[in-house]
């Protein structure tokens, strides 16, 4: 089709703009897999930093979420002023006092107007009422004038004050209810809602609940089991629609609620904190104050809040009401818990530590989508067949091949085309794949007869007649590609210096590239990998990715590695046999009676035993080509003696161009025809 129909819709946040491709994902993981040698650790690094898709779009990781979280917290702290909570209470109390004074004057003015308008008969009574009202008004005004300067003192005095203005009385009752509800919120959100407008009987019930709660905590601290079920039967309605199911859940809930108030207090200046504490206590009757004080003391002993209570450095100017401040404390503590969850996920790679609902609530829907995309990556690799397992993730054979293909591509992308080529052989003969063309049969050739070409030759020779008369001169056979075979042993230095200078990852990468090259272009070749430090060990292809350098044991036992490679190559019949040695240091260990002997600086004995093994390889026709990742005098001097004995070649390279050196050398050897 040349034309298609496309339909566009408004962005609603659900469209996926970052297409995740399993192949691209595996390619991005490959370097980290070679470096870490562990699937989970490589995924953890990907989760931390995110990834790019083939179009260059960046998918954020956990560090991006962490930065967004810190920016949100920083913005709130730089915007608001926690001391403004007290200033808001002072402002509201001043408005209440102003409303009361205005209301008093209004009532006096109204009474005077009524007395002036009264008839002669009613005037004495109206003037008597006016006089009583003026006396009461003066007493109230004197009381207001004599109120203490402190916020708590004013609240305490006004609790026994008889307001003359109904609106002022309503506003003061709202203020009292809010102060009481803030104290009640230390227990539960449900109790905060219930405390507003409580009757004295209701407050008495609340005190009884507090008394029983304090008793349960005392019993727990004494080692006895509190009667939690009985407590919840009597007071469960005060803890909302989803009450705690056991004593520990109750304590955790109370701990979080109380920590919000304490964090709010500690985020104020000492003067503002004292004023607010006094104001909150002033709103409660003495009996309730005692129960609340004991509750806070017992909670501090039973459930320490050092990890939850925190002083937030507010630096802004925007004012807050007490309710807004408490809500901000809740959000900031949720941000703290979310930050801890993200930090745990960064450390462990376990995304289940993060609650996506909390993530969306605090950082927005885009943050949840980023988390879902990260969570999808692991499943995507499993579905593509690159990894397997649940708790312990492992690379599959397909995953290992993908890493090798990427390594091979990275190496060849830097090579000139005339250096790479197709590496075909011009000789033709027996023992290979069919080439698609034919040749006349000669004595000794495999009798792979091409019937169509043979009959055609017979017809052309004897003419079109039936039956067709064929002779040996008409036989036409299929040509075959002449195939050479190569058996290679790669010796990987696993000594500590290879890891410290970041050379081992490059060595693993080029070895995987060799595996990929041989599998795709030279399937009859064989490749053995031997790692060596204090001892030499054969490394299978499926184990190569997770193999690492030896950080704990000293030694570069090339002697043992040559012995093992010689034995492995002895089993390869026909073709060329070669050793590719990748190292960054001279030998410092050799075998004596089956045990590794280490010496640094290298002993004469180690060098002698290693060169003896080089001579044995030479006698068996095994070529040793060395790729040095360092050019220090000791290494160059040793490799010079090795090459003079073996007549192999030596190259000095670096981790950046090691792959080019090794693969070009391998292909150069493959171009040489080896006689059967």
Whether 209 and 291 map to the same domain: the answer is yes
Q: Is residue 399 part of a domain?
A: no
What's the token pair of residue 248? 């520990």
Q: Comparing C-alpha atoms, which of 63, 60, 41 is closest to residue 51?
A: 60
Q: Which of 386, 416, 449 is a domain's end point? A: 386
Where b means 16+ CB within 10 Å and e means fewer, 514-523 reads bbbbbbeebe
Burial of 292 (0-12, 13-18, 19+ CB in 10 A): buried
Residue 314 and residue 267 in contact, taking contact as beta carbons nearer than 8 Å: yes
Lowest mean pLDDT among 65-69, 223-227, 419-423, 616-620: 419-423
Neighbours of 251 (CB within 10 A): 17
Tens digits of residue pLDDT in 149-177? 888 888 888 888 899 999 999 998 888 88
Whether 49 and 169 map to the same domain: the answer is no
pLDDT of residue 302: 82
Whether 474 and 589 map to the same domain: the answer is no
Whether 230 and 346 map to the same domain: the answer is no
Q: Which residue has the higher pLDDT, 278 or 430?
A: 278
| Whether the model pTM is above 0.75 | no
- Supply angle C-alpha 509, 512, 515, rounded to 5: 155
Q: Residue 278 — very low, low, confident or very high, per pLDDT cuts 50/70/90?
A: confident
Residues 6+ apart with CB under 8 A from 328: 76, 80, 320
Segments forming the whole domain that contains residue 117: 84-311
Neighbours of 146 (CB within 10 A): 8
Q: Is residue 460 part of a domain?
A: yes
Whether 515 and 585 map to the same domain: the answer is yes
Please tell me the total count of domains within the chain. Answer: 4
Q: Is residue 496 part of a domain?
A: yes
Q: Is residue 14 part of a domain?
A: no
Whether 550 and 660 map to the same domain: the answer is yes
By DSSP bridging, strand 576-583 and strand 486-493 are parallel
Q: Comparing C-alpha atoms, which of 26, 32, 25 is closest to residue 548?
A: 32
Whether 494 and 469 map to the same domain: the answer is no
Tens digits of residue pLDDT in 100-111? 999 999 988 888
Lowest mean pLDDT among 96-110, 188-202, 368-382, 656-670: 188-202
Whether 153 and 299 map to the same domain: the answer is yes
Tens digits of residue pLDDT in 512-557? 888 888 877 777 788 899 999 999 999 998 888 888 888 788 889 9
Whether 515 and 655 map to the same domain: the answer is yes
Tens digits of residue pLDDT in 363-411? 888 888 888 888 787 778 887 777 777 766 777 777 777 777 776 666 6
Whether 492 and 473 map to the same domain: the answer is no
Helix (H) or strand (E) holding 440: strand 434-440
pLDDT of residue 398: 79
| Angle of helix 84-117 versus helix 270-282 axis, rounded to 10 | 50
Burial of 647 (0-12, 13-18, 19+ CB in 10 A): exposed
DSSP 574: S
Q: Is residue 16 part of a domain?
A: no
By DSSP bridging, strand 526-532 and strand 486-493 are parallel
């Amino acid at each position: 089709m040349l034309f298609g129909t496309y339909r566009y819709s408004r962005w609603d946040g659900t469209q996926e703009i970052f297409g995740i491709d399993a192949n691209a994902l595996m390619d991005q993981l490959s370097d980290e897999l070679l470096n870490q040698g562990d699937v989970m650790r490589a995924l953890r690094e990907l989760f931390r930093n995110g990834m790019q898709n083939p179009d260059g779009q960046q998918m954020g990781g956990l560090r991006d979420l962490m930065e967004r979280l810190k920016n949100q917290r920083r913005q709130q702290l730089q915007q608001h002023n926690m001391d403004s909570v007290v200033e808001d209470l002072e402002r509201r109390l001043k408005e209440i006092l102003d409303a009361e004074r205005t209301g008093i004057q209004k009532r006096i003015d109204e009474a005077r107007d009524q007395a002036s308008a009264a008839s002669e008969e009613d005037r004495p009574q109206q003037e008597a009422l006016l006089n009583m009202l003026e006396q009461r008004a003066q007493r109230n005004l004197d009381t207001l004038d004599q109120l203490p300067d402190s916020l708590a003192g004013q609240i305490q005095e006004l609790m026994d004050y008889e307001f003359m203005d109904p609106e002022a009385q309503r506003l003061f009752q709202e203020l009292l209810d809010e102060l009481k509800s803030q104290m009640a919120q230390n227990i539960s959100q449900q109790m905060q809602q219930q405390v507003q407008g409580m009757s004295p009987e209701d407050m008495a019930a609340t005190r009884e609940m507090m008394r029983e709660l304090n008793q349960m905590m005392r019993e727990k601290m004494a080692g006895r089991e509190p009667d939690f079920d009985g407590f919840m039967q009597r007071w469960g309605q005060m803890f909302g629609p989803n009450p705690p199911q056991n004593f520990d859940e109750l304590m955790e809930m109370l701990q979080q609620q109380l920590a919000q108030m304490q964090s709010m207090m500690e985020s104020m200046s000492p003067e503002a904190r004292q004023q607010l504490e006094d104001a909150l206590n002033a709103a409660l009757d003495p009996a309730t104050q005692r129960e609340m004080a004991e509750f806070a003391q017992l909670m501090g002993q039973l459930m320490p809040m050092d990890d939850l209570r925190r002083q937030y450095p507010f630096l802004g100017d925007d004012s807050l009401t007490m309710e807004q401040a408490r809500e901000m404390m809740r959000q900031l503590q949720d941000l703290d818990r979310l930050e801890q969850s993200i930090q745990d996920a960064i450390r462990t790679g376990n995304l289940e530590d993060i609650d996506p609902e909390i993530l969306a609530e605090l950082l927005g829907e885009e943050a949840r989508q980023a988390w879902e995309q990260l969570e999808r990556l692991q499943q995507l690799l499993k579905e593509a067949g690159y990894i397997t397992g649940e708790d312990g993730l492992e690379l599959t054979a397909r995953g290992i091949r993908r890493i090798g293909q990427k390594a091979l591509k990275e190496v060849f992308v830097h090579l000139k085309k005339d250096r790479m080529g197709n590496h075909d052989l011009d000789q033709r003969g027996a023992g290979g794949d069919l080439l698609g063309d034919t040749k006349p049969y000669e004595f000794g050739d495999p009798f792979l007869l091409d019937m169509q070409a043979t009959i055609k030759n017979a017809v052309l020779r004897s003419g079109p007649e039936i039956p067709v008369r064929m002779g040996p001169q008409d036989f036409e056979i299929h040509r075959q590609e002449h195939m050479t075979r190569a058996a290679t042993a790669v010796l990987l230095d696993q000594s500590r210096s290879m890891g410290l200078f970041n050379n081992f990852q490059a060595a693993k990468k080029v070895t995987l590239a060799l595996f990929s090259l041989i599998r795709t272009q030279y399937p009859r070749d064989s490749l053995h990998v031997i790692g060596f430090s204090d001892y030499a060990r054969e490394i299978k292809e499926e184990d190569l990715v997770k193999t690492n350098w030896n950080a704990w044991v000293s030694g570069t036992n090339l002697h043992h590695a040559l012995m093992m490679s010689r034995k492995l190559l002895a089993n390869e019949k026909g073709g060329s046999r070669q050793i590719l040695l990748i190292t960054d240091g001279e030998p410092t260990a050799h075998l004596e009676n089956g045990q590794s002997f280490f010496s640094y600086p290298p002993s004469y004995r180690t060098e002698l035993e290693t060169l003896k093994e080089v001579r044995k390889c030479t006698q068996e026709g095994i070529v040793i080509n060395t790729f040095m990742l360092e050019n220090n005098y000791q290494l160059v001097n040793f490799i010079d003696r090795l090459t003079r004995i073996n007549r192999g070649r030596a190259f000095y390279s670096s981790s950046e161009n090691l792959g080019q050196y090794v693969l070009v050398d391998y292909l150069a050897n493959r171009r040489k025809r080896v006689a059967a």
